[in-house]
Chain A
């Protein structure tokens, strides 16, 4: 995607966050292809990619009103799509594991899954490398609920960030941006 389309998307997302429904169709058009492409590349499966892509579009537009207009829209949307793809891949993998567990004779390492997992990890690392420090921080913050409990300066920092997010939410809720 070129710079002109990126800045168009940024402007349209800001309008959509403000409640300007006129921007909706164009935002959908600008996001649809890049998200489908990302999902196809990550999942290597047309049907799974279509499912994950649609789920991602729902999530992105669901959060459109919280969009932080100081940050570029496309990396934000792709991060959400990447997360959706990862969630779907995990879900599928878990289901396959359960199926295999129910058939004792087929127990053992599954080469295809290992490769899929490796591909996903490589793609995620590459995608993370493309993001800014701020974007990376946000993604890391997404994993907080999975992290072990902490104390001291780390906890303080986390609290500060959480408060910052709360402040941003308040500002976007009442249109104070």
Chain B
């Protein structure tokens, strides 16, 4: 068989590999679709959960399709994001959402959820001695998942969650940056 034919076959096989990974990725985001559906059902205004859910599902599919660190960050990211999402939806359910009074409870809930999610992402990343892409991917997905709940408050909820997340992740980041000197060379990734 000529090298051109072989090259052609290789390209076709490569396409099969990519399509198979894409199929797996679409199967893998089913939990996100489920969470989005539940969030849209529970939230008083389903637009934000649906919009952020769509972005989360797309980002998750890309991460699972790409593989390596982003694939490994998918589950920790989504699970960490469920905390601010759950707290925001809980706060929304406890109060009948009139614009002002509801946000008073929801924003602190989003901040608190963000802090917990930040701690969780940093904890898992440190435990796995993960690379930068794991941190970035898990953080992004946690924020997107949380935004499904906090987005119903408008930008205040999302910003609050982001600030909380930043605060939660800082100790872990510091430990990663300054803890490097004390590690053995074999421990570094």
Contact = CB atoms under 8 A, between A and B. Distances in A.
Interface stretch (A58-66, A85-93, A96-104): A58-66
A18 B12 CA distance: 20
Interface string B68-110: 1001101100000000000000000000000000000000000
8 contacts: A20-B67, A24-B14, A62-B19, A173-B64, A174-B72, A174-B74, A175-B71, A176-B72
B15 to A, nearest CB: 9
A20 B9 contact: no
What is the size category of the interface that chain A forms with chain B? 20 to 34
A84 to B, nearest CB: 13
Interface of A: 16, 18-20, 24-25, 28, 32, 50, 54, 57-58, 61-65, 173-176
B1 interface: yes
Nearest to A28: B10
Given A28-B10, A57-B9, A175-B71, 8 more contacts: A32-B6, A58-B12, A61-B13, A62-B20, A64-B17, A173-B27, A174-B64, A175-B68
Interface string B37-81: 000000000000000000000000000111110011011000000
A62 B71 contact: no
A124 to B, nearest CB: 25
Contact of A65 (B12, B13, B20, B74): B20
B28 interface: yes
Nearest to B20: A62
B21 A19 contact: yes
Contact of B1 (A28, A50, A176): A50
A65 to B, nearest CB: 6
A19 B13 CA distance: 15
What is the size category of the interface that chain B forms with chain A? 20 to 34
B24 interface: yes
Interface of B: 1, 6, 9-10, 12-14, 16-17, 19-21, 24, 27-28, 64-68, 71-72, 74-75
Contacts of A57: 9, 13
Q: Interface of chain B, helix or strand or loop or mixed?
A: helix
Contacts of A50: 1
Given A58-B16, A65-B20, A174 B71 contact: yes
A54 B27 contact: no
Contacts of B67: 18-20, 65, 175
Among B64, B65, B71, B75: residue with most chain A CB under 10 A: B71
Contact of B68 (A20, A58, A64, A176): A20
Given A57-B13, A58-B16, A61-B13, A173 B72 contact: no
A173 to B, nearest CB: 5
Among A28, A32, A57, A174: residue with most chain B CB under 10 A: A174
Contact of A173 (B9, B24, B66): B24
A32 B13 CA distance: 11
B71 A61 contact: no
Contacts of A32: 6
A50 B9 CA distance: 11
Among A18, A25, A175: residue with most chain B CB under 10 A: A175
A64 B18 CA distance: 10
A54 B19 CA distance: 17
